[in-house]
Amino acid sequence: MNNKNSSMPTKKEKMNKKTLLRVIKTAFVVNKPLFVFAVIFIILNASCNITGPLFIQRFIDDIINPSLSIGSGMTEAIKGQIINYALIMGSLFLFGVICNWLYRYFIVLLTQGMLHKLRVDMFSHMEKLPISFFDTHHHGDIMSFYTNDADTLRMLASEALPMVLVSFVSVIAGFITMAMYSIYLLLVVILFSVIMILFAKFSAMRSAKAFMTQQTVMGEVEGFVEEMMSGQKVVKVFNHEKQTIDDFDKLNDEYYKLNLTGNIFGNILMPIIQNIGLILFITVAFVGGCIVAFGPTYNITLTGFSTLTIGTVVSFMLLSRQFTNAISQASSQLSMIVMGSAGASRVFMLLDQDVEVDNGNVTLVNCTIDDDGTIHEVPYRTGYWAWKQPANDKYPLTYRRLRGDIRFFNVDFGYTPNKIVLHDVSLYAKPGQKIAFVGATGAGKTTITNLINRFYDIADGKIRYDDININTIKKADLRRSLGIVLQDTNLFTGTIMDNIRYGRMDASDEDCIEAAKLANAHDFIMMMPEGYKTLINGDGGSLSQGQKQLISIARAACCNAPVVILDEATSSIDTRTEALVQKGIDKLMEGRTVFVIAHRLSTVQNADAIMVLDHGKVIERGTHDDLIKQKGVYYQLYTGAFELE
């Protein structure tokens, strides 16, 4: 297993408020009218819920009590009032149902729109991140941002936050209404509300930590599964299944315990609050009943702004019940809010990762070249390129032909500041030269090619490309001038033609076929069921390693770059296939500046210069014959006295 960081760093729980505000802000930005309509209908729906107890109070005090006092049955006036109350209450309840449906409909549209935007933003942002980010994070954990974290964010935005808003509006409306009925009965409600809030805080504090950590561990679990899936052959060939299962069990057990802890505290909260609400309901009934029954006898007038009646007490009891239910519903969403905010914080932390910095202003353009060397920029492809250096205060606009001259001057580099892997490296590759790097694993060979691509920036020294500081060239243009063939071929789901065209997206079918012929890939492609239109999956599982490598070489040939980097391009294929691949590589290298990394020294004997590296330093340089005569490290490597590994 590798030692990549298992997940993104987690923020402290106190940052949850900022995360929730950012979720709300994101939803608002996605579709402002939908957001406003959703909030309006949430408020209207919550307000409609409060009208029921108000009509109950009026119904009892205005109809039932007068009817009982008359004692001779209902009058026509009372019958009319009953019909009016029924119509009004029915209309309000129907309106509430409509508002409930509308706000949920708008929330669904808003949430899906927000998730669509976030996924696009995440992927777009991820494509701008430096290579170092992918080197230090499990691919499974990165996938977790798009799946698990996005799903918890969906539940947060579509269920938890709207429910909390409904509950909040209901609590405020109920509080104001109860205050208008009886301040003293309201004090009873406040007392019980404080108890509910204390229980909610107690439970939330314990579930929050578990759910926050749970999201991180979920990323570790998915990263582990992804790692084991890609390495199944290795697992099986070394009979490592039991150890792999044990390692997974450890991660899964940790996830189980965190999930269990979070859900225990999250799920016990609602029943406790509901039971407190039942006690409150009985207490309000008892206190209110005592005031109504014994107040006139003992001249007790414990009222707020209105006279306490039977209808008022009954209405107050219903309001207190709704008040309790609102708090209970809000508290039941706490676990989802905590989990959702944890997922949202991970999504936002991905979006907040620093993108790859590019301060370059030198661009690569197509050009024509006159007999006297004058360069003219043109909008079409000519086979010639030039570096376009914009005008500034000191120099006018200039063009410099791309020749492929790359030089390192006293370069130091480390993947981390405290661990330098290249020390004072100086080298040069003249246009058309083939430069080979040899040395033990970890000597710094691939690191040098990564610096040419500017996958990483150097700590000290300079790298010049056609006598231009490489830091002043735009990265996209720099990389467009380079063709790369890696040891680990990366093919993408699509046709063989699509994979070859990946080297230059504007290439015609004829260009791709010519590139395949150059790479010696044409013959085997034509033997495929549908030729160049044959569909292959992402890992090229239906192709041999040699065939995949030939397609990779054809892809590099298609871009027709003047500089080519070959990173151990033949190390993982058999000798017979290597001869075919090497022919393709030899054609690809013609007329180009080439950097070759190879373990098989036989493949670099014809290099113009061979650089021998050891622990990040260039210790020998020369042609094959020169280095053999020196009888140094290269001689010992070539004769087998030393092993590259």
Under 8 Å between Cβ of 549 and 573: yes
Instruction: Determine, yes or no, domain membership for 185.
Output: yes
Under 8 Å between Cβ of 515 and 402: no
Q: How many domains does the chain have?
A: 3
CB atoms within 10 A of CB 257: 14
Q: Which residue from 480, 482, 461 is spatially nearest to 404, judged by alpha carbons? A: 482
pLDDT in tens, 76-100: 666 777 777 778 778 888 888 898 8
Q: Which residue from 562, 548, 558 is spatially nearest to 503, judged by alpha carbons? A: 558
Instruction: Determine, yes or no, domain membership for 127.
Output: yes
Domain identity same for 377 and 273: no
Under 8 Å between Cβ of 348 and 19: yes
**In angstroms, rounded to a whole number, what is the distance separating the alpha carbons of residues 511 and 26?**
45
The predicted pLDDT at position 7 comes to 47
The vertex-409 CA angle with 404 and 413, nearest 5°, equals 105
Q: Which residues of the chain have pLDDT under 70?
A: 1-16, 57, 61-78, 204-209, 211-212, 215, 230, 233-234, 237-238, 265-267, 293-308, 538-541, 569-578, 580-581, 640-645
Domain identity same for 152 and 283: yes
Under 8 Å between Cβ of 147 and 346: no
The predicted pLDDT at position 462 comes to 94
3-state secondary structure of 372: coil
Domain identity same for 369 and 249: no
Residue 490 is part of a domain; what is its CATH number?
Answer: 3.40.50.300
- Domain range spanning residue 433? 406-639
If phi > 0 it is left, if psi is from -120 to 50 it is alpha, else beta; for residue 71 that is: left
The predicted pLDDT at position 581 comes to 67
Domain identity same for 172 and 300: yes
Domain identity same for 369 and 425: no
Domain identity same for 244 and 288: yes
Q: 525: buried, middle or exposed (CB in 10 Å: 19+, 13-18, 0-12)?
A: buried
**In angstroms, rounded to a whole number, what is the distance separating the alpha carbons of residues 256 and 213?**
11
The predicted pLDDT at position 497 comes to 92
Residues 6+ apart with CB under 8 A from 160: 333, 336, 337, 340
Domain identity same for 623 and 515: yes
Residues 6+ apart with CB under 8 A from 106: 34, 37, 38, 41
Residues 6+ apart with CB under 8 A from 32: none
**In angstroms, rounded to a whole number, what is the distance separating the alpha carbons of residues 435 and 597?**
9
Domain identity same for 596 and 542: yes
The predicted pLDDT at position 368 comes to 92
Under 8 Å between Cβ of 196 and 188: no
The total number of residues written for the chain in this structure:
645
Domain identity same for 489 and 611: yes
Strands 468-469 and 460-465: antiparallel
The encoded tokens of residue 110 equal: 């808003």
Instruction: Determine, yes or no, domain membership for 6.
Output: no
Domain identity same for 295 and 379: no
Instruction: Determine, yes or no, domain membership for 464.
Output: yes
Residues 6+ apart with CB under 8 A from 456: 130, 131, 132, 413, 415, 447, 450
The model's pTM: 0.72
Strands 363-369 and 385-389: antiparallel
Domain identity same for 65 and 173: yes
Residue that has been written with the tokens 């439970």 in this structure: 203
The predicted pLDDT at position 520 comes to 82
The predicted pLDDT at position 159 comes to 84
Strands 385-389 and 482-486: unpaired
Strand order from edge to edge, sheet including 398-401:
375-377, 363-369, 385-389, 398-401
Phi, psi of 39 (to 5 degrees): -65, -40
HEC-encoded secondary structure of 374-398: CEEECCCCCCCEEEEECCCCCCCCE
The encoded tokens of residue 52 equal: 């029921």
H/E stretch holding 257 reads: helix 241-298
Instruction: Determine, yes or no, domain membership for 157.
Output: yes
**In angstroms, rounded to a whole number, what is the distance separating the alpha carbons of residues 342 and 15?**
10
Among 331, 351, 371, identify where a domain stops: 351
Domain identity same for 397 and 412: no
The vertex-400 CA angle with 448 and 486, nearest 5°, equals 30
The predicted pLDDT at position 406 comes to 93
**In angstroms, rounded to a whole number, what is the distance separating the alpha carbons of residues 642 and 75?**
114
The predicted pLDDT at position 302 comes to 46
The predicted pLDDT at position 24 comes to 86
Under 8 Å between Cβ of 102 and 41: yes
Under 8 Å between Cβ of 314 and 152: no
Instruction: Determine, yes or no, domain membership for 4.
Output: no
Under 8 Å between Cβ of 563 and 481: yes
Under 8 Å between Cβ of 337 and 161: yes
Instruction: Determine, yes or no, domain membership for 2.
Output: no
